[in-house]
Amino acid sequence: MQKVEVQHICAGYNLGDVLQDINFTAREGEFIGLIGPNGSGKSTLLHVMSKILNPTCGTVYLGDVEIESMKLKEVARVLAVIPQDSPMTFSFTVADIVIMGRNPHLTLFHSEGKEDIEIARKAMEATDTFHLRNRVITNLSGGERQRVIIARALAQSPKVLLLDEPTANLDIRHQIEIFDLVKRLTEEGLIVICAIHDLNLASLYSDRLIVLKEGRVLAFGNPEEVLTVENMREIFGVEAILQNHPVENSPFVILMRS
Ligand code: ADP
Ligand code: MG
């Protein structure tokens, strides 16, 4: 898919719009980090982009197609979502959950075949969950469960992957592994839009950063442009020193005590 385009999106809940006129384009192979304070609208934007929430104005295009004109199953064939928290109350096994990622690609009379099982196996291997395949999801740790959710999303073979703070529950090694994996997939053309809390991880992995504050885009650009002392103050209300990462040369945020 060549691009995902968000045009003049407003959206909200019963108390009114949370998002105000959001515009940006994500290109093929791009990793876009979505940052901003709690409540700034990151999850709401990802909900609109995945057709979970209808906008009150504006349009989202997946490639050249308006998301509004697509069925949910059509959306799911090209776009996968890793939500902020995915409650798991049913006692499915890990393998059952991951193979569910193939559902959008199956037709009414065809259940999953050899190729689907192979894709699910690869998704489990990539997320270090293959050894858990026969375990029941409700018995896993938060981090293990999150990796299974990520495996299911990968099994969807998406062209666009939306992630909402995907590694909040993970230890540092698994955080790096998941981001490395997602980053590798962008080299094959995957478009990634990922809400990230940790500014230094956002800086390390993102080609461009979108900053949301109070439902508006406050800044959009590469990490060097966005992660500045002034923006840290204005967006998050914190004092920081900005340095260059000694190896990656990306901005590195050093936070000061207040
Ligand atoms: P973020 O993900 O950046 O923390 P959210 O998109 O979750 O922000 O929330 C943006 C605003 O929308 C917040 O003020 C939040 O209280 C409100 N909000 C989020 N979800 C709902 C909901 N289901 N019903 C009503 N208000 C909501
Ligand atoms: Mg959120």
pLDDT tens-digit map of 217-236: 999 999 999 999 999 999 99
- Per DSSP, the three-state class of 222 is coil
Q: Is the CB of 36 under 6 A from ligand 1?
A: yes
- Does residue 27 sit in helix, strand or coil? strand
The closest ligand to the CA of 35 turns out to be 1
Rounded-to-integer distance, Cα 12 and Cα 45, Å: 9
For 47, 64, 167, the CA distances from 70, given in Å and listed in that order, are 15, 12, 30
In SS3 terms, 48-92 reads as HHCCCCCCCEEEEEECCEEHHHCCHHHHHHHEEEECCCCCCCCCC
Give the residue, by CA position, lying nearest to ligand 1 atom 15. 39
What is the 25 CA–ligand 1 centroid distance (Å)? Answer: 23
Which two three-digit tokens encode residue 201?
């991880």
> Is 42 near ligand 1, meaning CB less than 6 Å away?
yes
Per CATH, domain 3-227 is 3.40.50.300: yes
Residues 6+ apart with CB under 8 A from 148: 94, 97, 98, 127, 129, 132, 137, 140
- Single out the residue of 75, 148, 83, 152 nearest to residue 112, CA to CA: 152
CB of 213 shorter than 6 A to ligand 1? no
Per-residue pLDDT tens over the stretch 201-221: 999 999 999 999 999 999 999
From the CA of 245, how far away is ligand 2's center (Å)? 27
pLDDT digits (tens, 9 = 90+) for 31-66: 999 999 999 999 999 999 999 999 999 999 999 999
Q: Assess contact for 119 and 152: CB atoms under 8 A.
A: no
Model confidence at 248, in pLDDT bands (50, 70, 90)?
very high
Residue 87 has pLDDT above 80, yes or no: no
Query: Residue 18: CB within 6 Å of ligand 1?
Result: yes
User: What mean pLDDT do residues 134-160 have?
Assistant: 94
Cβ(206)–Cβ(217) under 8 Å?
Answer: no
- How many Å separate Cα 222 from the centre of its chain? 18
- Residue type at 123 in one-letter notation: A
Is residue 148 within 8 A of residue 129, CB to CB? The reply is yes
Q: How many CB atoms lie within 10 A of CB 146?
A: 23
The best mutation among 18, 34, 48, 194 to test binding of ligand 1, ranked by most ligand atoms within 8 Å of the C-beta, falls on 18
Determine whether the shortest distance from the Cβ of 47 to ligand 1 is under 6 A.
no
Return the pLDDT at 85: 76
pTM score: 0.95
**Cα 93 from Cα 136, distance rounded (Å):** 4
The mean pLDDT of 233-241, rounded to a whole number, is 95
pLDDT above 80 (res 88): no
pLDDT(142) > 90: no
